[in-house]
Chains A and B, each alone.
Chain A
Amino acid sequence: DAGVTQSPTHLIKTRGQQVTLRCSPKSGHDTVSWYQQALGQGPQFIFQYYEEEERQRGNFPDRFSGHQFPNYSSELNVNALLLGDSALYLCASRRQGEGAYGYTFGSGTRLTVV
């Protein structure tokens, strides 16, 4: 049973560029959340998708946007990259209605902005 799959694993981008990160949730899961984890910090909630709609959003600018597809997979897009966007981006999936005990995290995409 595949867990949460994220791609790519590593990425280097230049300031001002745009990036798309991808996430396939665990089989049976329909809700996807994205987190940003800067070095030495805990994961910070970006947004959550369910039924192809953004349901909750953390304190992140509009440069961060997302999408969820009918097969529950999701994308995170970041426009106009800043050096401060360098972080580990984590995707977590769960079944709608389950709490954090049901979360499964992917191994993340490490983004470096130069």
Chain B
Amino acid sequence: RKEVEQDPGPFNVPEGATVAFNCTYSNSASQSFFWYRQDCRKEPKLLMSVYSSGNEDGRFTAQLNRASQYISLLIRDSKLSDSATYLCVPEQAGGSYIPTFGRGTSLIVHP
């Protein structure tokens, strides 16, 4: 089983739509979780951290379910500029802080 599993998509949605991505992770010892965004042929950039209580940042909401070992990202009122690949990143425990990246989910927002 892969450490991080994501549906690669692409998810094709119209502007204004709400879209959700899920990600499952296999390392139950993972302590920190993040969503990164990667634009085509660019480097990944941190989008948001994921807390047990959920985390909301404007149109973006991230949730963590430790029991089922998955994290989710919800994007409301999609914009054209949201088109990118979204990478799920659990982080190794124990202080080594090695982020493990999923293959990412591609989102295409069209007019």
Contact = CB atoms under 8 A, between A and B. Distances in A.
Contacts of A97: 95, 97
Contacts of B91: 99-100
Q: At the interface, is chain B mostly helix, strand, loop or mixed?
A: loop
A105 B98 contact: no
Interface in A80-114: 88, 90, 94, 97-101, 103, 105-108, 110
Interface residues of B toward A: which range? 20 to 34
A31 B104 CA distance: 25
A1 B49 CA distance: 24
Interface in B22-47: 32, 34, 41-46
A94 B104 CA distance: 22
A103 B49 CA distance: 12
Interface stretch (A11-19, A35-43, A62-70, A71-79): A35-43
Given A99-B32, A108-B43, A42 B96 contact: no
Interface of B: 4, 8, 32, 34, 41-46, 49, 87, 89, 91, 95-104
